[in-house]
Structure 1
Amino acid sequence: MYESLKRSIDNCDEIIMNVSFIRDSGMKLLIDDLKKAKEKGKKIRILTSDYMKVTEPNALYRLLEIGGIKIFENPLNRSFHPKAYIFRKENDFEFYVGSSNISYSALISGVEWNYHFISKESSEIEEILDEFTELYEKNSFELTIEWLREYEKRYKKSDYGELFDNKERVEKKVIEPIKFQIPALYELSKTREEGYNKAMIVVGTGLGKTYLAVFDSMNYKKILIIAHRDEILKGAKNSFENVYKDERTYGFFNGERKECGRDITFASISTICKKEYLNRNYFDENYFDYIVVDEFHHSSSKSYLKVLEYFKPKFLLGLTATPDRNDNGNVYKLCDYNIAYECDFRVGINNGWLVPFEYYGIYDSIDYSAIPWRSGKYDLLALENALIVEKRLSLIYDKYIEFRKKYSIGFCASVKHCQVMNEYFKRKGIKSEIIIGETPIAKRQDIIEKFKSKEIDIIFTVDIFNEGVDIPEIDSILFLRPTNSYTIFIQQLGRGLRTYEGKEKLRVLDFVGNYKGAEYRPLFLTGNYKRGSKIVNVTDKNFLLPEGCSAEFSFELIEEFEKLKRKNIKLEELIKTEYLELMEKLEKVPSIMEVYTYGDIPVNSYTRCFKNWYNFQEIMDVLTTEQKCYSKLGLEFLEFIESTSMTKSYKIPLLLSFIENLNKNISIEEIGSYFKRFYNLSYHKKDLNNKKHSDLINWDNKKFEKLAEDNPIKYLTEKGKNSEFFQYIKPNFILSDQLYKELQNDEFLKEVKERIEYRKINYFHRKYMEE
C-alpha cells in the first residue's frame, strides 16, 4: 500500500485522504512525498479524527506545514472509520478504499485489504466527492496549532494504538527526531518565523534535549554548546557526532583544551566566561551562528551573563527541565520571555516517553505544627530532630523492605538527615550510600557506578539529584522530607521517570504528614497544580492521573486532606503568602515583572484583589520612602497603565514612544516612526492581522501615523479623556506638566517602564502563545 500511495501522490494533481486515524509511524513514511506535492502546488485535503485518541499528536505536528488538514468534529463520539484515498489527475480519478489507515502496520507489514480502481469523472464519482466535501466543509474543523497543543495534553497512549506500530522495522540506523522533539522543532521553526532569535525549551530529563539541539541547528554553520560540566559536553559531542558523523569538525573549549576554528564547539562555562577568552584572539562576537545553553536556568549567573552579553548569535536556544532559579536572576528575560515549547511529565507519560508511576502516600505521624515556621520554611534544626526519631526511621525501613525495587533514591531534608538514614539502613544490612554537595566528584561517580551495578541498593541525597544526574535505572523514589514546592517535587519525581529496558513503572514512597502544603499532594500528582488551585482529594472525580499511573493513600491522609479541603482559604491570603515566599526566594522586594515571571498566581489577581499594585505593596508594607512620596496623579497614572483595556496592542508603542526617551511633546511623525519600528518586528506584527493591514510590509510612515491617530490617540484623548495625563493638539501628543514633572523621578519612571513591559509581555503571551 505504501509504494502504491507514493506513486499516486507523485502522479496526481489533487490529493484527498479520509482516514479515521494517523499514526506517526505511518506519517513518517508519507510526509516527504506530501511536502514535495505541496511544493509543486498540488491541492491537498486530508480529513482525520481524534476518535478514541488513536491519532498521534506527533503525526499531526508533521502535517501542520502541509495545510488543508481537518479534524472530524465529533461531540457525540460517533464511530469514525473511513479509510479512503482519492487522487485526481485532470478528469481521471484513482481510488483506494479498504482497511488501511495511516500507520506502519497498515501501509507495510499488516494484513490489510484495499480495493484500487481508476475511473473517469462520472455521476458516481461526483457523489463520492460530494460526500467527502460535506464531511470536510461542514462537519470538521481546521487543524490549528492551538487545538493541537491542547490535544497533545489530553492525548493518552493506548495499547490499541500501539498495535498499529509494533511491527515497524528499522532497515537502516538513521537517527531522526522522536518524542517531544517533533513538536518542539515545529514550535522553534514557528518562533523564528515570528521574528524571535532566542527561545527556551522546558522539558524533563531523559527525553533527548541534546538531540533536539542537534536537529534544530542543522541549518547553521558555527555552533556553540555551553554547559557547566564536562560530562554533559562529552555526551553532547557524542549526540552531534551520531547525526553529523564526519561532515562537521568538533572541538572542546575547557580547562584542558582550547580548540578554536571548529564547526561545533563544546565549551565549559567556567572556562569560556573568562575575559582572556572573550575576545577576537579566540572568538569574534559574531563567530557563532547558533548557541545552545544546557541547564538554562543557570544562565542568569555572572559567568553565563558574560558569555551571553559578548556573543551575538543568529539564534540562542536555552534547554532546561525547570526555568526557576533560587536567586533573583531573570532567566525568562534572557530568552525574551519566549518559551517555545514545554513538555511536562503528564504529556511525557501519556505519550509513552516517560514511564508511569505507582505512588504510595504513607501517613507520617510527626506533628509538624510543633516545628517553628520561619520565612516560608521549617526551622532546619527542629525539623532534623523530628525526622530522625526511631519511630520514623523504623517506619521508613519497614516500608522500604515491603515495596523495595532494584534502584532506589531517598530524598532527605538535610545532610544530617542523610547521614542518619544511611547509618540506620546500614545497621539493618542494606547496602546504602550518601551523595551530598561535599561529596568529591570522583567518589560521586564511583558511588553511581556501584549503584548501577547493584553493589549499592539505595542512595540518600538532599538536592544533588534535582538536576544534572542521569540514571535511567532508578525505579524507586522515597520522599523522606516535607516540601510544599511543586517545582522541587516534580524535579525529584522526574529522576525516576526516564524509560529503561525492563522498567515498567516508577515506584514512589512518599511519607506525608500534616506539614504545610501537604494537602496539595494529590493535585501535584495530576500535574494540574497552579498556585491558588482548589484542593483536590483522591476521592474527587477530577483526581485524574496520567495514563497508566496509580496512587494509593493511607486512610489517615485522605481524612486529613478532606478536613483541609473544607477550609476556605481566601485568594487574598494565598497572594500574600506567595509574595512573602518570593521575597524570601529573591532576597528582595519582588517587582511586578518578577511576580509575573516567578509567581504562580497571575498579576491581574493581585491587582483585582487589592485594587492596584501600589495598594498591594502598601498593604504588604514594602513601599520605599520614595514610593510613599508619589503624587496622587502619579499613582493614578500607574493604575491607568495596569488597567487600561487593550483589544489590540496599539497603546503599548504609543506609551513607549514618549517614555523611552522621555519627551514632553512628541510629534505624530515621531510616533508613526516608532509604530513602524515596533510593528516591523515579527512578533509584534502578528497583532496587525485585519484586512486593512494586509499590505503592512509596504506601509510608509504616513500610514503608521494614521494608525496611531485613529487608535489609540483618538480613543485616549477624544472629548477630553485622560486630559490629566496627556492631550493631542495636532501634530503633537503632549504630556501634562504635572505628569512630565513626576516622570523626572527615576524611581517613578522605572515603575512606569516596568508596568508597560508587563502589559506588553502579558498581552502577546496571552493572545498568541497560550492554549
Structure 2
Amino acid sequence: MSELRDYQQRVIDEIYATWQQGKRAILLAMPTGSGKTRTFSELAKDFCDRDRRVLLLVHREELLWQAKKTLEKILRSPVGVIKADRPMQLEYPVQCASVQTLVKRLEKQEIDLGAIALVIIDEAHLSLAPSYLSILRYFPKALILGVTATPSRLDGRGFDRLYEALVIGPSVSELIWRGFLADYEVLAPESFLPTEEGIRIAGGDFNSADLAERIDRRYVAGCAVDAYLHHSCQKRCVVFAINLDHSKAIAERYCAAGIVAEHIDGETAPKDRQAILERFRAGETQVLCNVNLFTEGFDVPEIEVIQLCRPTKSVALHLQMLGRGLRPKGGRKALILDHAGNCLRLGGAKADRCWTLQGLTESIPAPEALINPIEEAIEFMAEAIEPPIAFSKTQIDLPNLPKRRVEIYETDVDFFHLPTHTELETQLAHQTYSQSQPARPISSRSPRVPSDAPQSSPHRDRRSAPNRQIPPQASPQVSSKRRSSPPKRHLSPLQQVSKAAIELAERMENILVWIWRSWFPPKRKRVEIPRRSKRPQSF
C-alpha cells in the first residue's frame, strides 16, 4: 500500500492531539476523493497494533465492501463483517458493520462485540440519526471518529450535540492544484426550474413530488440527451434524476438515441446492481441514471461527465454529486452539465466554504487582522528608505473605483473593469490638456496677407456669389517668444493630488510585492496557465 500523503498524516496527528486534550468525539471533514477511507484505515491499524478493537459503521452495502477491501490491504489481515444473511466472525479485532443490522442485533442482545476502543462512522453527516445514536450508547467509553466530506445537514441542526471538535482537511482547490483531484468545467443550459415559487421545502430541500409535478420528465430527458450529444458524446456519464420515473425516462431516451444507458436505484437487486456497475466500468454502458444512489461513497474513477437533472437546496447533496466526477483522469478535465441551476444557486466545488460544528457559515475576516501586519511592514520599509518620505496629514477623498467581482460559479466569471495605472495617467493627461487649447502649429497657419486685403474663411463655401461681401480677418499676431517655446501648463490642485496618489499607490504595490516574496518564497516552479472563462450555453 502506498504511503500516506502529507495532508493525511497532518489530520491524523491533529486527531491524536485532540484526543489527548480530553475530547472524545471528533468530526473529520475531507473532500470527496481526498482519501478518507485510507486515512481512517491507518488509524484503525494503529489501534489494532495495540490490541484494541475497532468498529466501523456504514449505511450502504457498497460502502461496506469498499471499506472492508481497503482495511484488509492496510491491516494485512481479515476483517469481520456484520450484515444480514452473513456469518459473523467476531474474533477479528476490526469489524465492519451495517448500521441497520447492528442496531437490531444489539437491541435483541444477539451480539457481543467486547470492549470497543474506537468507533469510526463513515458518511458522518448521517450520524445524528436515531439508529447511529442508539449504537453509540452501547459503547460509552469508546473514542468516536466521524468522517464526512460535507459536515452539513439538511435540517440545519449542528453536530455539536455529538462531536466536540472539528478537524478540517485540505480544500478542493488545493487537491486539484496538486493533482489529487481532476479539474472540471461547468456548462449550465437553461434551468429546468427557473423559479422556486410553488415548490414546497421538505427537510431543508425541494419536495421531490413538487419537482416531479413542475418539471416534465419528457422535456428533461430530451434536453439531457441533446446536451450529452453536443458536449460529451461517447463519454461515460452519471445522471442524477428527481425520482424513479424521471430516471427511467432519461435512460429510455438515451437508448432511443442509440446510447447504451441503464437505470439503477436502491431497489435493484445486489447482483444486478453489481453487474450494471461492472458493465459501466468496462465501458459497455455509457450512461448510468440514478436517484440519490451514487451521492455517497461511489468510487468509480471512470466517470467523465456528471449530469445534474435534480434541483437541490442542499450544499451537502450538491457537493456529493459533483464529487463523483472529480477522481483523477490523467490530466483530463471533468465536465458538469448542470440543467438544474445548482452551481449558480450553491456555487461550485472549488468555492470557499467555512465548515463548523454548527454547519456551514459565512464568515468575513476582520479587517484589522489583515491591515495591522501590512501597516507594520510599511512602517518598517518607510524607515529604511532614505531620504524619508513626508506624508501629508491632509485627508484626501479619492474617487471610489469599482471593485472586481468574481462569481462563485467558475465558468460564468463576470469582472467589473478596474483601471490600470497607465489608464489613470492617460485620463489625467487628457483632463489636463483639455483645459487649455494648444497653439496651432506655424506650418498649418494661413499665409500672411495685408490687413486691408479681404480674406476668405476656410470654413465658408468658396462657390458663393461674387458680390457676396466677406468681412476682413486680421492676421494672427505671433510673437517670436511664443513661436520659440510652448506656454507652461500648470496642473490644478486636484490633478496634482491625483498624480501623487498614483505614485504613492505604485510605491505601495512594490513594497507589498517585496514583502510577499520575502515571507512566502516560491517552493516549486509553477507554469501559469491562463484561465479560460466560458459562459453557459443556452439550449
Q: TM-score, normalised by structure 2?
A: 0.60
In structure 1, the residue matched to 2:181 is 354
Change (3 A) 1:342 1:230: same
Q: Give the CA deviation at 1:474.
A: 0.6
Say if 2:195 is the partner of 1:369: yes
1:243 to 57, 64, 74: 74
In structure 2, the residue matched to 1:113 is none
In structure 1, the residue matched to 2:294 is 465
Aligned partner of 2:35: which letter? G
User: Within 5 A, what are the aligned runs for 1:496-575?
Assistant: 496-500=325-329, 502=330, 504-511=332-339, 519-520=344-345, 523-528=347-352, 536=407, 538-540=413-415, 552-554=534-536
User: Within 5 A, what are the aligned runs for 1:351-430?
Assistant: 351-364=178-191, 368-369=194-195, 372-375=198-201, 380=208, 383-384=211-212, 387-388=215-216, 393-404=221-232, 405-430=234-259
Contact in 2 for aligned 1:393/1:424 (Cα 8 Å) = yes
C-alpha distance in structure 2 between counterparts of 1:469 and 1:439, whole Å = 16
1:253 to 75, 82, 89: 82
Say if 2:320 is the partner of 1:491: yes
In structure 2, the residue matched to 1:225 is 56
SS of 1:265's equivalent? strand
Q: How many residues align structurally?
A: 370
C-alpha distance in structure 2 between counterparts of 1:294 and 1:370, whole Å = 33
Q: Give the CA deviation at 1:231.
A: 4.1
Q: Give the CA deviation at 1:359.
A: 1.6
User: Within 5 A, what are the aligned runs for 1:299-318?
Assistant: 299-318=127-146
Change (3 A) 1:528 1:283: closer
C-alpha distance in structure 2 between counterparts of 1:272 and 1:367, whole Å = 41
SS of 2:310's equivalent? coil
C-alpha distance in structure 1 between counterparts of 2:196 and 2:58, whole Å = 43
- Which stretch has the larger CA shift, 379-388 or 469-478? 379-388
C-alpha distance in structure 1 between counterparts of 2:293 and 2:270, whole Å = 12
Aligned partner of 2:321: which letter? Q
Change (3 A) 1:258 1:361: same
Aligned partner of 1:414: which letter? N
Change (3 A) 1:381 1:264: closer
> CA-to-partner distance for each residue in 1:613-646, whole Å, 9 max, x for gaps?
xxxxxxxxxxxxxxxxxxxxxxxxxxxxxxxxxx
> CA-to-partner distance for each residue in 1:419-466, whole Å, 9 max, x for gaps?
221222221111111223333333222221111112211112222211
User: Within 5 A, what are the aligned runs for 1:100-139?
Assistant: none
2:3 to 162, 169, 176: 176
Equivalent pairs: percent with the same residue?
Answer: 26
In structure 1, the residue matched to 2:99 is 269
C-alpha distance in structure 1 between counterparts of 2:110 and 2:339, whole Å = 56
Change (3 A) 1:435 1:273: same
Change (3 A) 1:275 1:458: closer
> CA-to-partner distance for each residue in 1:495-519, whole Å, 9 max, x for gaps?
111125x462211112256xxx775
Change (3 A) 1:328 1:437: farther
In structure 1, the residue matched to 2:525 is none
C-alpha distance in structure 2 between counterparts of 1:388 and 1:253, whole Å = 43
SS of 1:334's equivalent? coil
C-alpha distance in structure 2 between counterparts of 1:458 and 1:176, whole Å = 34
Aligned partner of 1:294: which letter? D
Change (3 A) 1:327 1:391: closer
Q: Give the CA deviation at 1:471.
A: 1.4
Q: Give the CA deviation at 1:234.
A: 3.5
> CA-to-partner distance for each residue in 1:6-48, whole Å, 9 max, x for gaps?
xxxxxxxxxxxxxxxxxxxxxxxxxxxxxxxxxxxxxxxxxxx
C-alpha distance in structure 1 between counterparts of 2:33 and 2:292, whole Å = 18
Give the aligned CA root-mean-square deviation in angstroms.
3.5
Q: Give the CA deviation at 1:467.
A: 0.8
Change (3 A) 1:267 1:390: closer
C-alpha distance in structure 2 between counterparts of 1:191 and 1:270, whole Å = 30
Q: Give the CA deviation at 1:310.
A: 0.9
C-alpha distance in structure 1 between counterparts of 2:533 and 2:245, whole Å = 30
Change (3 A) 1:367 1:253: closer
Q: Give the CA deviation at 1:393.
A: 4.2
Aligned partner of 1:482: which letter? P
User: Within 5 A, what are the aligned runs for 1:654-669?
Assistant: none
In structure 1, the residue matched to 2:116 is 288
Change (3 A) 1:245 1:420: closer
Change (3 A) 1:528 1:224: same
Larger radius of gyration: 2
In structure 2, the residue matched to 1:188 is 15
C-alpha distance in structure 2 between counterparts of 1:216 and 1:257, whole Å = 26
Contact in 1 for aligned 2:406/2:413 (Cα 8 Å) = no
Higher relative contact order (CA 8 A, sep 6+): 2
C-alpha distance in structure 2 between counterparts of 1:520 and 1:471, whole Å = 27
Contact in 2 for aligned 1:297/1:322 (Cα 8 Å) = yes
Change (3 A) 1:437 1:194: same
Aligned partner of 1:400: which letter? Y
SS of 1:233's equivalent? helix
Change (3 A) 1:450 1:250: closer
C-alpha distance in structure 2 between counterparts of 1:382 and 1:393, whole Å = 18
C-alpha distance in structure 2 between counterparts of 1:348 and 1:283, whole Å = 38
Q: Which ranges of structure 1 fall in alignment gaps of 5 or more residues?
A: 1-173, 558-771
Q: TM-score, normalised by structure 1?
A: 0.43
SS of 1:316's equivalent? strand
> CA-to-partner distance for each residue in 1:222-268, whole Å, 9 max, x for gaps?
2222222344334333323323325xx64333332222233222223
C-alpha distance in structure 1 between counterparts of 2:25 and 2:118, whole Å = 10
C-alpha distance in structure 1 between counterparts of 2:139 and 2:217, whole Å = 54
Contact in 2 for aligned 1:357/1:549 (Cα 8 Å) = no
SS of 2:195's equivalent? helix
